[in-house]
Amino acid sequence: MLYNAFMSYSHAADTKLAAAIQSALRRFAKPWYRFRILRIFRDKTNLAASPALWTSIQHALENSEYFLFLASPQSADSTWVQREIDWWPQNRSAAQLIILLTGGRLLWDRSKQDFD
């Protein structure tokens, strides 16, 4: 895998937090002689605007081991975040999806056995 994790978040709500998480994960348990230990895909650092934006995002998703979802009301309303979230369980294990609640509430739907 090219990336250890793909980070999905709302730019409006969590840009600073996403950058801080990415920075912390890169340094986590890093030996002094290595530049970084983990590679985290975050659109602000790994992606340029282009006509093939979804293709680039999908390539990053395909090459990521984990999906980090910064959950907030704003991310729930984001079309791009929704596309990324929809892609993951269709192509990867839900066991590799990590939800980081940054705002609002997570609700469990018992009938669907899934988060709302």
The answer to whether 69 and 80 are in contact (CB under 8 A) is no
Which DSSP letter does residue 37 get?
S
Q: Which amino acid is at 48?
A: A
Q: Which entry of 84, 85, 87, 88 is annotated as an active-site residue? A: 84
CA 33 to chain centre: 27
Examine the residue annotation and report whether 84 is marked as an active-site residue of this protein. Answer: yes
Pairing of strands 64-71, 108-109: unpaired
Q: Which amino acid is at 73?
A: P
Pairing of strands 64-71, 3-8: parallel
Candidates 49, 46, 60; CA nearest to 6 is: 60
Which amino acids are annotated catalytic?
A: 84
